[in-house]
Amino acid sequence: MIKLCVFDLDGTLLNTLGNIAGNLNKTLEALGYESFPTDRYRDFVGNGARILVERALRAQDAYTEENHATVYAHFMARYEASPDEGTTVYEGMPETLAALRAQGVLCAVCTNKPHLAAEKSILRFFGEDAFVAVCGARDGAPLKPAPDGVNALLARLGVGCDEVLFIGDSDVDMLTARAARVKALGAKWGFRTPEELTEAGADALLAHPREILDHLS
């Protein structure tokens, strides 16, 4: 019986692609680099802000450690000033979260988004009671696909691996679930393709958030 659902954030709970693309494009343009179409960012996101910036620079043959440090610092300052501009909640997600809570299932978040930004986004879009815990990126802590964040949530909430669903939209999320030995559900409404999710080890693919409820028993 499932006791806990762990959700990725960007591309799973919230559609943040336009926000991420807009903030990094404005940063790149201000510093004299090329910007990218929003859809290109589907390939850049998933492994945290530092790798996001690295991928954008490498895509235009502009990566150096010095360039990366400068762009990353400017991007984070801009992003932290408007972390939720243009962000929307995926259709059906609030109702699904309410249904999970009604069945006694705990909900938590494990994301590579900076921890404080993740907490603020969750509070703004879902309120105080939707999730019992949020685990975001912190200095010195391994990012997904390392299982550390999921393992910490399981230990904190007293839940076993066989009592957990992990819902995410990327190969990073599916690999995280496999490493943590929990069931992996791929969100087809997110940033990556169903083929990527399947190849990365998804146990099942979801076309809509409500389908999570079909995997509780």
The pLDDT tens digits of the residues spanning 126-175 come to 999 999 999 999 999 999 999 999 999 999 999 999 999 999 999 999 99
pLDDT above 80: residue 177: yes
pLDDT, position 89: 98
Tens of pLDDT, residues 29-40: 999 999 999 999
Class of domain 4-15+87-215 (CATH, top level): alpha beta
pLDDT, position 84: 84
Task: Identify the three-state secondary structure at position 25.
Answer: helix
**What is the value of pTM for the model shown?**
0.93
Nearest partner of 109 among 56, 194, 176, judged by Cα: 176
**CA 116 to mean position of chain CA atoms:** 14
- Catalytic residue positions? 8
Same fold for the domain at 4-15+87-215 and the one at 17-81? no
Q: Tokens 């399947």 identify what position?
A: 198
The residue ranking higher by pLDDT, 48 or 3, is 3
Where do the domains of the chain lie?
4-15+87-215, 17-81
pLDDT, position 215: 98
Spatial separation of the C-alpha atoms in residues 119 and 136, rounded to whole Å: 8
Among 73-82, 119-128, 134-143, the range scoring the smallest mean pLDDT is 73-82
Can you give the C-alpha Rg of the chain in angstroms? Answer: 17
Spatial separation of the C-alpha atoms in residues 104 and 192, rounded to whole Å: 30
pLDDT, position 79: 86
Point out which residues pair with 204 in neighbouring strands: 185
How much is the mean pLDDT over the chain? 96
User: CATH code for 17-81?
Assistant: 1.10.150
pLDDT, position 201: 97
Q: How confident is the model at residue 217 (pLDDT cuts 50, 70, 90)?
A: confident
Q: How confident is the model at residue 85 (pLDDT cuts 50, 70, 90)?
A: confident
Q: How confident is the model at residue 194 (pLDDT cuts 50, 70, 90)?
A: very high
For the record, the structure tokens of 156 come out as 């904190």
Helix and strand numbers (H, E) in the chain are: 8, 8
